[in-house]
């Protein structure tokens, strides 16, 4: 498939065909920016592998992929015997929960799938499978709507001609479409605000360089790529007027887990008097956690640091620490942009007021 930079929207992932013999199709993000390739996942383990290896990544997109993945588990069990169908769906859900630990959207989406299975006990097999697929599709469709809404609310924070720094990729590729932090930027750009983005390359897996720079460029948003360790200098030179990033899990008090390096960027923003914003849908909040100290942080393969992208860049046998996320304390966050509006100040009371009572799962 060729690289089509004129296409305004991204179908990051979706379901092809019907419930009985359809499958998941997703952009293989490990191949970007040089190759734009969609792959088909026809069983649960290939969806699990796609999530684990970051072929599909970004909190909302992971949840959507897992929801569709559960349908594949039901397919394999078959619709003839209701008990084995239910077991197939639930086993797939349990397995997909083990793919990555930090983004709560994964667990939120699978909770919805499991609730759907529970609430439709009276249905026959084919209708139940169809109903689960409908729920997975709803999760994807709702995400698209939430992203657009985040874009609209967040654009109010952006002034004309501003420099905006972002970290990792919270764009269309990380969601069903359009993104969270990048939705704010796309929306401000479309409104003619003449923004200029500084994209941190985002070590070790370069989501900023490979994905954010690519997404902004294809939409015609002016963007300059910097190495992560250049952010302080770029801020000191007065080139950045706001920072906006996505989130993988936000605790009840607003502490926010996002890609490793985000915490450092928040500290730099504070030191330079630059507002620091997070953009995330309500599905990224985990109100069962009082603060960020209990957010599970994924530890990834050391080879991502020592042999990233096929070349050895550290001595054989070196000890490596590779946490994929860090937690930015709420006090460093000036506002959280959600599909329901801005959370400002970022504290437990304002979060509850904006999101409503806690979900029961
Ligand atoms: O490891 P990744 O690429 O899945 O990490 C993604 C991020 O940290 C994103 O910023 C986050 O998921 C928000 S996506 C809208």
Q: Residue 353, class by beta-carbon neighbours within 10 Å (0-12 exposed, 13-18 middle, 19+ buried)?
A: exposed
pLDDT by residue (tens digit) across 283-293?
Answer: 999 999 999 99
The residue whose two tokens read 């983004």 is 103
Q: Residue 28, class by beta-carbon neighbours within 10 Å (0-12 exposed, 13-18 middle, 19+ buried)?
A: middle
Burial 198-209 (b: 16+ CB within 10 A, else e): bbbbbbbbbbbb
Catalytic residue numbers, as ranges: 248
Burial 30-43 (b: 16+ CB within 10 A, else e): bebbeebeebebeb
Contact 59 CB / ligand 1 (< 6 Å): yes
Contact 252 CB / ligand 1 (< 6 Å): no
Q: How would you list the strands of the sheet with 285-286, edge to edge?
A: 285-286, 249-251, 256-259, 325-328
What is the CA(325)–ligand 1 centre distance, in A?
Answer: 9
Q: Measured between alpha carbons, how far is residue 127 from residues 89, 115, 251 in Å?
A: 13, 15, 37
What is the CA(124)–ligand 1 centre distance, in A?
Answer: 38
Predicted confidence at residue 8, as pLDDT, reads 59
pLDDT by residue (tens digit) across 283-331?
Answer: 999 999 999 999 999 999 999 999 999 899 999 999 999 999 999 999 9
User: Which residue numbers in the chain have pLDDT < 70?
Assistant: 1-8, 357-361
Contact 324 CB / ligand 1 (< 6 Å): yes
Q: Which residue has a Cα nearest atom 6 of ligand 1?
A: 58
Entry field: residues in the chain: 361
Looking only at the bridges linking them, the beta strands covering 276-279 and 242-245 are parallel
Predicted confidence at residue 356, as pLDDT, reads 85
Return the closest-CA partner of residue 216 out of 252, 241, 244, 235.
244
DSSP states along 57-95: -SHHHHHHHHHHHHHHHHHHH-SSSHHHHHHHHHHHHHH
Contact 61 CB / ligand 1 (< 6 Å): no
Tokens of 272: 């330079």
- Non-local CB neighbours of 46 within 8 Å, separated by 6+ positions: none
Q: Which atom of ligand 1 is nearest to the CA of 259?
A: 8
Looking only at the bridges linking them, the beta strands covering 341-343 and 335-338 are antiparallel
- Tell me 299's DSSP state: B
Contact 166 CB / ligand 1 (< 6 Å): no
What is the CA(324)–ligand 1 centre distance, in A?
Answer: 10
Q: Which atom of ligand 1 is nearest to the CA of 105?
A: 12
Contact 247 CB / ligand 1 (< 6 Å): yes
Predicted confidence at residue 9, as pLDDT, reads 72
Integer Rg of the chain from CA: 20
- Tell me 253's DSSP state: T
The residue whose two tokens read 């239910």 is 86
Q: Measured between alpha carbons, how far is residue 299 from residues 41, 63, 323, 340 in Å?
A: 25, 19, 4, 32
Q: In whole angstroms, give the CA distance from residue 126 to residue 122.
A: 12
Contact 103 CB / ligand 1 (< 6 Å): yes
What is the CA(283)–ligand 1 centre distance, in A?
Answer: 14
pLDDT by residue (tens digit) across 170-189?
Answer: 999 999 999 999 999 999 99
Q: Which atom of ligand 1 is nearest to the CA of 284?
A: 13
Burial 281-300 (b: 16+ CB within 10 A, else e): bbbbbbbebeebeebebbeb
Q: Residue 24 forms beta bridges with which residues? A: 15, 41
Ligand 1 probe mutation, 61, 144, 168, 333, most atoms within 8 A of CB: 168
The residue whose two tokens read 């294809």 is 218
Find the farthest-apart pair of alpha carbons in the chain and give their distance in angstroms, rounded: 66
What is the CA(5)–ligand 1 centre distance, in A?
Answer: 22
């Amino acid at each position: 498939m060729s690289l089509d930079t004129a296409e305004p929207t991204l179908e990051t992932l979706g379901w092809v065909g019907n419930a009985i013999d359809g499958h998941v199709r997703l952009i293989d993000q490990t191949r970007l920016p040089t190759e734009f390739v969609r792959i088909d996942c026809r069983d649960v383990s290939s969806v699990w592998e796609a999530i684990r290896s970051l072929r599909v990544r970004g909190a909302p997109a992971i949840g959507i992929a897992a929801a569709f993945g559960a349908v594949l588990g039901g397919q394999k069990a078959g619709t003839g015997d209701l008990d084995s169908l239910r077991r197939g769906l639930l086993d797939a859900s349990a397995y997909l929960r083990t793919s990555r630990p930090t983004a709560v959207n994964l667990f939120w989406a699978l909770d919805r799938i499991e609730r759907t299975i529970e609430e439709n006990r009276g249905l026959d097999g084919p209708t139940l499978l169809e109903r689960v697929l409908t729920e997975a599709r709803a999760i994807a469709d709702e995400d698209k709507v939430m992203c657009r809404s985040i874009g609209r609310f967040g654009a109010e924070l952006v002034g004309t001609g501003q420099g905006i720094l972002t970290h990792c990729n919270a764009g269309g590729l990380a969601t069903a479409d359009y993104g969270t932090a990048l939705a704010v930027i796309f929306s401000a750009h479309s409104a003619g605000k003449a923004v200029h983005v500084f994209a941190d390359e985002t070590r070790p897996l370069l989501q900023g360089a490979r994905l954010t720079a690519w997404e902004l460029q294809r939409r015609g948003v002016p963007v300059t790529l910097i190495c992560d360790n250049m952010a302080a200098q770029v801020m000191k030179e007065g080139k950045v007027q706001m920072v906006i990033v996505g989130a993988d899990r936000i605790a009840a008090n607003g502490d926010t887990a996002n890609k490793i390096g985000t915490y450092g960027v928040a500290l730099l923003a504070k030191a330079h008097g630059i507002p620091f914003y997070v953009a995330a849908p309500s599905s990224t909040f985990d109100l069962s956690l009082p603060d960020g100290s209990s957010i599970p942080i994924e530890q990834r393969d050391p080879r991502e640091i020592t042999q990233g992208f096929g070349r050895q860049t550290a001595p054989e046998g070196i000890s490596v620490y590779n946490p994929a996320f860090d937690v930015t304390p709420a006090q460093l966050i000036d506002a959280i942009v959600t599909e329901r509006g801005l959370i400002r100040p970022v504290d437990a009371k304002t979060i509850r007021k904006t999101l409503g009572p806690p979900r029961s799962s």
